[in-house]
Structure 1
Amino acid sequence: MRSVSMKVAQWIDRLGTIWVEGQLTQINLRPGTRTAFLVLRDPAADMSLSVTCDPALLRNAPVPLQEGSRVVVYGKLSFFPGRGTLSLRVTEIRPVGVGDLLVRIERLKALLDAEGLLDPRLKRPIPFLPGTVGLITGRGSAAEHDVLSVARSRWPAVRFEVRNTAVQGPSAVPQILDALTALDRDPGVEVIVLARGGGSVEDLLPFSDETLCRAIVAATTPIVSAIGHEPDSPLSDLVADLRAATPTDAAKRVVPDAAAETALVRELRARSASALRGWVRREAAALAQLRSRPVLADPLRDLTHRHDEVERLRTAARRSIESLVRGETTAGGHLRRQLTAVGPAATLARGYAVVQRVAGTDRQVVREIEDAPAGSQLRIRVRDGAISAAALGTTPLGGGPAGKTRTDESERT
């Protein structure tokens, strides 16, 4: 037995690497282990094969692998004599059929994303109430019926420009591109809807075509993609300006509900009227409060009060100034009388005289007898004029006559 098992192991070991196609029926991937265990089954026969691989092959697969996926694996067979089992150690796993399509779609998605065509900032806004809606869909399809019926029930006045094209198969993409170009050039069309019902991945493949995706991005009219149902996600949904889960959802997203909008308008009108009435009440209350204030109830009261106060102050100021003037006038009179009393005119009026010696144009007041020697020309000022005289002699105070004094001329001037 051992010899047979060893011979079988040596013979299988001499076999080279092989490609094997099958369906995954079991995936055993435990965290922390270095080997993943799979079971590959032949879909046409009741036969299976144990497969081992690196866990990274499963984690890094371009399409998530699960039980039931069709794959083709590349690896080398190994026979274990101790257990008498045959296993295939694989180094590469590729999906086939739908899996291969999904891989290609994922690659195209990565390419478009790298070019920035999936950037949300490129999305154009959908008009609130489009005048004309362009619709690209299959002839007599359920998607066409759903979009038209739902849109017209929501807004009866909506207009449609319908372009019926193939929505699957090799002729779908050229026909969709022609319809898209025609509707995009029509100035009356404000939004375009791409609509198709559900289907398999192969049926929806035209809506993941690279040419169609680039045409959607290049269009100047906003485009709504309503392809398949909620789980379906072709690339047209990603590059379009708006993704709708279903054709019915597209009709609801593009056309507003007339009843809902009318109700909203009524509600907004009621709210605005209520807000306006509230504002008027508040302003009226504020005006009433302002009018009730003393300054507005009797605007002239403060002016009258201030006027009376100003008059009192003016009267007090006038009295103060008159009193001050009277006091200063009296003081000035007293000073004037004092000055008059001590002035030379008053002295002359009491009988005194001012004697001046005249020498040419000079006049010198005579204070002592030495100032007027005999023969000097004198000018004697009295109360009412002046007298011209000449000195005949002098008499000292308290002594006898020292000489004679003669007046040559006496006159009033």
Structure 2
Amino acid sequence: MMERIGIGIVGLGTVGGSVAKIIEEHGKRLAQRAGVELYVKRAVVRNPSKYHHFSFPISCDVEDLLKDDDVEIVVELMGGVETPFEIAKKVFKCKKALVTANKAMLAYHAQDLIELSKGLPFGFEASVCGGVPIIEILRDSLVANDFGGFEGIFNGTSNFVLSKMLEDRCDFSQALHKAQELGYAEADPSLDINGGDAGHKLLILAKLAYGVCVKPEEILVEGIEQIGLEDMCFADELGYAIKLVGIAKKDGEVLDLRLHPALLHKDNDLSNVNGVKNAISLHGDCVKDLFVSGFGAGGEVTASAVIADIVHIARLRNASPYPCPPFGFFEYQNLLKIKPLEEIQSAYYLRFIVRDEYGVLANITSSLAHFGISVKQILQKSSHSEATIILITHCVQEKNITLALQEIQKMDWILTSPCKIRINE
């Protein structure tokens, strides 16, 4: 008779329900791949009465799961930061394996979880890019490489909103409403559109690629709330696409790590990643350039990554201690320094709405020149008594752009706050 491994699930929402369904419906195939029969022994949810259609026991007390000796792998899919972290600590204390899709908990407590796991299995493939196996790629497949950098689209909701704005020529609120209608965005989409979700994922990937331990508050994270339809259209006219991009660039012992909207040339692979898809483009000294893309959200897509971790743990069930370090490093030496925001270097897209008067453009370019900023491209469109001026600058430090815009914003011919979007070249 084949050995069996019981699984306990914390949270039976879209992803948790899909995990349970796939294990039940594809049990035979999973057993052939894992070498052991996998089954859901029990689950924990806030309101068990809503989940009577499942065949396994369900309670609202996580202790029921922790005390069950048949539960060898705990799958945490509840969301949040501190409560799931407390559960994770209890899981490891009970000597059980942990699988999670919780990118926020990992962003804040990755190092704590490494120390707590102490040779116990710990999987989190589902925390970044859904069905795209980027965790395995960075941790295992590309261990020979020194990464010069990577950039990626890590949030499907924000990518859908930006894609929809340009495709349908609609404004931000209309595109977001469509995302909510289709189930791509939550009723409260804050973490998706303000960059928080993608920022958490960027930190997880940076730890895998470089071994750095950085908190979300220590890097630049900006969302897409201020991107207007006019910016999408102007960028398209100038040969760019606007995407919410996570960026890591290594320069000696300094790591430029940030998440923000960016203009990408249309020949950049990421500029053609639309809808709810995620993608990453990376450079390693051995593998050279690598690009991977796929669906980054959805119940079955994310469940696919969760079950990949479960099967991997089941295959190594007899190894003690568990031979795979969670983030790919047995020793962490935080040698890289994170580049300060004011030292970031980039070209910039600048949009000014001004009174349509003689000399305004000359005043803007003069103010920019005062701070060492040269202009590469100009586009101006007038309507009634107003004009929209678009400037593409050459590469310059962030602090110079900040000072220049502060000066320009004081001018009486400026009608709204200038819009600034970095260009990733």
TM above 0.5? no
TM-score norm. by structure 1 comes to 0.23
- Larger Rg over CA atoms: 1
Q: Which structure ranks higher in relative contact order (CA pairs < 8 Å, sequence separation ≥ 6)?
A: 2
TM-score, with length taken from structure 2:
0.22
Higher share of residues assigned helix: 1
